[in-house]
Amino acid sequence: MPLALRRRPPAAWWTAVARRAALLAPLLHAGCASAPPTFEAHRVALSRIDHPVPAKLPRTDIGWKLEQYLQFDGEAPEPPNFADHFTLFLVGCGSGCRQYALIDRRSGKVHPGQALNNVRFDYRRDSRLLVVTHTEGYRSPDIVDYMVWNGTRWRRVAREVRPAPEE
């Protein structure tokens, strides 16, 4: 058929196609999403630490309450519980709020974290992966951040947003 005789579909048809594509895009994206990071994928070898070094408080970048709690760490340092020789140190900083710091039990260096609301941490001593699940408030979606410690700082490798619980 000659090009001049071909009919173009009406504009409404193109609008319907675009609408269907827009509705299907999130489903296709969800189906193609990769699996969340695992503790096994970020495994570290465990070493023996007979005498954990107490925390050496930094002069800046640490909340007053966290500093207050870390002062007691010198009396009986907690054993390592994260990425072989680190202690993930958790402190309440208000109603529903938790603040954390990472303490190197070989040197005593403290790496301050952040304060988060309605938070849960999942971690293991034999892995560099920290799974942080938090929410901004009641009926808000859960935000799951997958953080990997590289020895000097955190790197977010994935994030999930889970729907808010229904009543």
Write out the DSSP string of 138-159.
TTPPEEEEEEEE-SSSEEEEEE
**What is the DSSP code string of 33-60?**
PPPPP-TGGGB------SSPPPPB--SS
Q: What is the domain count for the chain?
A: 1
Q: Output the six-digit token pair for 133.
A: 């699940």
Q: Output the six-digit token pair for 139.
A: 């009926």
In a domain, 20, yes or no: no
Residue 85, pLDDT score: 96
> Which residues constitute the domain of residue 123?
40-162
In a domain, 119, yes or no: yes
Highest mean predicted confidence (pLDDT) among 24-28, 32-36, 40-44, 68-72? 40-44
Residue 78, pLDDT score: 84
Answer yes or no: is pLDDT of 29 > 60: no
On whether the CB atoms of residues 101 and 62 are closer than 8 A, the answer is: yes
pLDDT class for 166, splitting at 50, 70, 90?
confident
In a domain, 105, yes or no: yes
pLDDT, mean of residues 72-80:
75
